Amino acid sequence: MLAELWNLFLLFFLIQGFCPDLIACRTVPASELSLKLDESLPLLWPQPMEFRHGNETLSVDPKLEFRVVGAGSNSSILAEALERYRGIVFRHRTKSSPRPTFDLGRLTIVVSSDSEELQLGVDESYTLFVAGRNPLSIVAEATIEANTIYGAIRGLETFSQLCSFNFKTKEVQVHKAPWYINDKPRFTFRGLLIDTSRHYLPVNVIKQVIDSMSYAKLNVLHWHIIDEQAFPLEVPSYPDLWNGSYTKWERYTIEDAYDLVEYAKRRGVNIMPEIDVPGHAESWGIGYPDLWPSPICREPLDVSQEFTFSVISGILQDMHNIFPFELFHLGGDEVNTECWSSTIHVKQWLENKNMTEKDGYQYFVLRAQQIAAAQNRTPVNWEETFNIFGDKLHPQTVVHNWWGPGVCPKVVAKGLRCIMSNQGQWYLDHLDVPWEDFYISEPLEGIVDPSQQELVIGGEVCMWGETADTSDIQQTIWPRAAAAAERLWSPRAATTGGDLNAIVLPRLEYFRCLLNRRGVAAAPVTNSLARKPPIGPGSCFVQ
C-alpha cells in the first residue's frame, strides 16, 4: 500500500517536474534555461517515510504562536529549538504593515516524554499535520506530535522546509496544504566523521558543521579527535598529551568538549569520540615518549608497556563524563606493526609472550575493548579488526566498514553490528565521487535476512581532514553528505530505482540552495569534482 502510494508520488513528480511559472524559470542566457523546479512540489530533504498533501497555499503568521503540550513541554532544549526555527522560517523582514490575518497562526507541539536523554536509537519519529483552511475556525492549525523532544526537533526541521518565503506577497507560505506527514528514520545511526588531527577545526566551525547536520537529519558526529599528526584534546590525567597539538592555540579543553556535546545534543546530534589505537597515534608520544616503541620508530603505540594501557584507560576515564554516547570508537585501522619487531624490547616482549606481530595487534585491540567495556562503553572498531580476528572481538562490538564493499554482510552474519562507510562511495575526501554514488550506496546491500539487517545500525560519511580545514570543509561535506543522509533516513523503496536526474537531482539542488540560504557553504551539486567553484554565472538551482 505504502509502495503504491510512493509510486503514485513519483509519477506525480515526473509529470509536475516542469516549470509552469515563467518568472520562476527564466534566466537571461539561454544556456541556463534548465531550471525545472516549482515551489509547489514537496521539496523536502530527506523525504519523509509517508506523506500526503493537498493543493492549498497557506500564509503563515509572522507572529506564529508555538504551543507546547505534554510531558516534554518544559524542555529547555525544545524551547531553544523553537526559537531557532522561528529564526529560520521568518528569515526575511516583513513589511511594516502586514495584513491583519493569516491562515496559519499556531503550531502546536505535543511531546509525550519528559526525558531529554539522547542515545543511539532514541525515538526520532514524529507526525506533522498542517491543516487547510477550515470554515469553522478562524485560522488553520499545524501540529507536531512526537514521543521525544528529538522527534519534535526533526518535525520542526520538516516544518521549516515546508515554509517558503514569497517575495511578492512578502509572506511565509506553506504550499500544497493540507499536509499529513508520518516520519521516522530508517537507520538509527546516520553519521558524519570529522578529523581534527590533520587540521584543527575551531569550536565555532564544528558548531557550524553540527548545525548543517541537523538540517539533513544526520544524528551522529563521529569526532576523529586524534591521529598521528596532532593530539589536540586536553586529558587531565595525562596533561602532557596535548603537547602533541600543532600549536598551543590549536587545542580543545575539556570544557570545549563539553560545550560541543551539549551544543550537538540541543540539535539531536550525538558525538561519538574516536581514540584510534594502536596505529595513527604517533602524536601521543610528543608528551609521553615512552608510548613510542622508540624515538626513531614511533608507531604503533608500544604494546609491551603497561604504561600504554594506563594512558588509554586514563583517556577513556576522562572522556567518560564528557561523552555520554554509548558508542566509543577505538579505531584499530591501518596498523603497521614493523616497529614492534624492529625495536628490541618490544620484540623480546612478544617472544616472551609467544606472540607474533599479528597476535600483538589483536592483544592490543582486545585490551582496549576491555577498558572501554569496563566503563560501559560499546566499542566500535574499524573493519581490519574484524577482518583479522573477528571471532575474538567483544560480542557488543560495532564494526565500522571503510575499506570496500561486502563487509557488513560478513559482519552481521557473525552476529556483530555494522556501520557502513565504504570508501568508494562514502568518503567525502574522495573528490571524484559524485552525489549519485553517495545516493545509491545501500547499507543493506547483500543482506537478506531481516534479523541480520537489523544489525546494520546505519552508515556514515567520512570527511578526512588531510586537505579539509576551516576554509573548505563545508563545501567538501555538502551537498554530497545530504545524498547519504536521505539514503539513511528515507524508506529504501523511496530512494531506489528511477532516473535520479529527474526524480532526485532537482530536490537535491533545492536542498543545496536551502543550505546556502542558511549560511552553509554547500557547493554546486553537479560539478565534475566536489567543492569545485561554479563554472560560470547562474542560478543556484541549476549548478
Query: Closest distance between a copy of itself and the C-beta of residue 523, in Å?
Result: 4
| Number of CB atoms found within 10 A of residue 110's CB | 19
CA 122 to chain CA centroid, Å, is 15
| Number of CB atoms found within 10 A of residue 17's CB | 14
Closest alpha carbon to 272 in 229, 331, 317, 232:
331
Lookup: cell for 508? 537535491
CA 528 to chain CA centroid, Å, is 24
Query: Closest distance between a copy of itself and the C-beta of residue 397, in Å?
Result: 29
Q: Is the dihedral of CA 254, 260, 266, 270 positive or negative?
A: negative
Q: Which is nearer to a copy of itself, 250 or 442 (CB)?
A: 250
Of the residues 32, 50, 116, 334, which is catalytic?
334
Q: Which is nearer to a copy of itself, 25 or 139 (CB)?
A: 25
Cβ atoms 488, 190 nearer than 8 A: yes
What H or E segment, with its residue span, contains residue 361? helix 357-374
Query: Closest distance between a copy of itself and the C-beta of residue 405, in Å?
Result: 28
Query: Closest distance between a copy of itself and the C-beta of residue 466, in Å?
Result: 6
Q: Which is nearer to a copy of itself, 25 or 440 (CB)?
A: 25
Q: Which is nearer to a copy of itself, 158 or 229 (CB)?
A: 229
Cell 628490541 identifies what position? Answer: 344
Cell 600543532 identifies what position? Answer: 246
Exposure class string for 335-366: b at 16+ Cβ within 10 A, else e: bebebbbebeebbebbeeeebebeebbbbbbb
Cβ atoms 384, 332 nearer than 8 A: yes
Q: What CA–CA distance (Å, rounded) separates 505 from 483? A: 10
Q: What CA–CA distance (Å, rounded) separates 164 from 44? A: 11
Q: What CA–CA distance (Å, rounded) separates 103 from 8? A: 29
Q: Which is nearer to a copy of itself, 214 or 385 (CB)?
A: 214
Q: Which is nearer to a copy of itself, 110 or 235 (CB)?
A: 235
Which spans in 266-298 are helix H?
284-287
Q: Which is nearer to a copy of itself, 73 or 470 (CB)?
A: 470
Residue 528 CB contacts under 8 Å (≥ 6 apart), including other chains: none
Cβ atoms 389, 369 nearer than 8 A: no
Cβ atoms 511, 45 nearer than 8 A: yes
Residue 106 CB contacts under 8 Å (≥ 6 apart), including other chains: 64, 65, 66, 67, 139, 141, 142
Respond yes or no on whether the N-terminal peptide bond of residue 46 is cis (omega within 30° of 0).
Answer: yes
Query: Closest distance between a copy of itself and the C-beta of residue 91, in Å?
Result: 7
Q: Which is nearer to a copy of itself, 242 or 439 (CB)?
A: 242
Interior angle at CA 64, CA 58 and CA 65, nearest 5: 130
* DSSP 8-state assignment for residue 466: T
Can 334 be counted among the known catalytic residues?
A: yes
Cell 560480542 identifies what position? Answer: 395
Query: Closest distance between a copy of itself and the C-beta of residue 201, in Å?
Result: 8
Q: Which residues are catalytic?
A: 334
